[in-house]
């Protein structure tokens, strides 16, 4: 029918290379800043003493309880905090922009007037987002692996791979939540709110749920805890939880396409 395949995917992916590159630089910067410091901070006796002096609630909330090991340090700093934050912001902004933002700016109307279906549009743009997330996760995986020896992290590469899969799945969940609400409402801000809520509430539920057995039911509602509850950098991924993260993300993409299919655009 056409000579070029998946034009919407290619446009969404290729035209956002600046943004992808910027997030990649941010993630790489964070990794290169944190991990080489492990031998002097995380692994040091003083650091452990300092952590021990902190209130246990605080170390649990920050996931610093295992910071004295290389995998624990990497889990807490890169996957659990700065990487999680950067990736979530990236995917939520991409997800909210993919349909809701495009509609609000008025450009979706023109694209939909061309030879595409709405389902195709959502799927191709979600695929572009997914590919960017995977690329960033690969970057994180490769950089940590590269620093593994020099920073004395002693991370098992299979466990690291599992952690990267969880990391990508967790970010994707926020991103697809933003995509879905954006596609449902046609509003970028609603999408941003929904994606941010998934990320922030997941983090908060994890931090609070870890404080006492009375509150640990909160952990069941925390995607953050699904992904990182068993410290995947140290212990390998919980593949069932990774399946949930990726599966729910996929379901949200399908729901997004149905939501857009059923409503007026730009009204």
Partner 1 sequence: MEPAITVEGLRKSFGHREVLHGIDFRVQAGTVFGVIGPNGAGKTTTMRCLLDIIRPNAGTLRVLGQDPRRGGPGLRRRIGYLPGELALEARVTGRRLLEHYAAVSGPVRPGRIDELAERLNLDLDRHTRKLSKGNKQKLGLIQAFMHEPELLVLDEPTSGLDPLVQQEFLTMLQEVRDRGQTVFLSSHVLSEVQQAADEVAILRDGRIVTIATVDALRESAVRHLRLTANGITADDAGALLGRVPGVGGVEVLAKGSGVKLTAVLEGSIGPLVQALAGLQLTDLVLEEPDLEESVLRLYGNNGNGRRGNGSRRREPQEEGSSHA
- In the block, residue with structure tokens 């610093």: 64
In the complex with partner 1, which residue's Cβ is closer, 112 or 142?
112
CB of 126 to partner 1, least distance (A): 17
CB of 263 to partner 1, least distance (A): 8
Inter-residue contact 75 to 232 (CB < 8 Å): yes
Class of residue 25 by CB neighbours under 10 A (exposed 0-12, middle 13-18, buried 19+): exposed
Distance of CA 132 to the CA centre of its chain: 11
- Using CA atoms, how far residue 144 sits from 47, 91, 156, 218, 240, in Å, is 22, 21, 11, 31, 24
CB of 16 to partner 1, least distance (A): 9
CB of 93 to partner 1, least distance (A): 15
> What crossing angle do the helices spanning 157-185 and 188-209 adopt, rounded to 10°?
140
CB of 189 to partner 1, least distance (A): 17
In whole angstroms, give the CA distance from residue 139 to residue 88.
16
**DSSP 8-state code for residue 80:** I
In the complex with partner 1, which residue's Cβ is closer, 7 or 229?
7
CB of 1 to partner 1, least distance (A): 9
Name the residues that contact partner 1, by CB under 8 A.
2-4, 7-8, 10-11, 15, 18, 105-107, 109-117, 120, 264-267
In angstroms, the first-to-last Cα distance of the chain is 32
In the complex with partner 1, which residue's Cβ is closer, 2 or 214?
2
DSSP 156-178: -HHHHHHHHHHHHHHHHHHHHHH
CB of 115 to partner 1, least distance (A): 4
- In the block, residue with structure tokens 């929904």: 194
In the complex with partner 1, which residue's Cβ is closer, 11 or 152?
11
Distance of CA 22 to the CA centre of its chain: 16
In the complex with partner 1, which residue's Cβ is closer, 112 or 138?
112
In the complex with partner 1, which residue's Cβ is closer, 103 or 166?
103
């Amino acid at each position: 029918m056409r000579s070029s395949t998946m034009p919407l995917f290619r446009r969404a992916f290729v035209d956002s290379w600046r943004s992808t590159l910027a997030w990649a630089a941010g993630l790489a910067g964070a990794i290169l800043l944190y991990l080489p410091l492990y031998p002097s901070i995380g692994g040091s006796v003083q650091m452990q003493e300092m952590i021990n002096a902190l209130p246990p609630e605080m170390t649990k909330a920050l996931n610093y309880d295992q910071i004295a090991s290389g995998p624990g340090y990497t889990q807490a700093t890169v996957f659990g905090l700065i990487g999680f934050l950067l990736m979530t912001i990236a995917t939520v902004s991409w997800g909210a922009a993919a349909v809701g933002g495009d509609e609000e700016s008025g450009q979706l109307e023109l694209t939909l007037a061309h030879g595409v279906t709405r389902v195709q549009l959502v799927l191709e743009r979600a695929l572009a987002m997914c590919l960017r997330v995977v690329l960033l996760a690969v970057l994180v995986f490769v950089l940590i692996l590269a620093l593994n020896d020099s920073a004395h992290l002693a991370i098992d590469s299979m466990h690291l791979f599992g952690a990267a899969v969880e990391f990508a799945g967790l970010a994707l969940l926020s991103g697809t939540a933003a995509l879905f609400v954006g596609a449902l409402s046609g509003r970028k801000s609603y999408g941003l709110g929904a994606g941010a809520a998934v990320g922030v509430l997941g983090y908060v539920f994890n931090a609070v749920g870890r404080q006492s057995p009375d509150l640990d039911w909160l952990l069941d509602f925390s995607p953050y805890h699904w992904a990182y509850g068993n410290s995947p950098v140290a212990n390998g991924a919980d593949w069932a939880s990774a399946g949930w993260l990726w599966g729910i993300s996929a379901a949200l993409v399908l729901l997004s396409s149905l939501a857009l299919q059923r409503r007026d655009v730009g009204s």
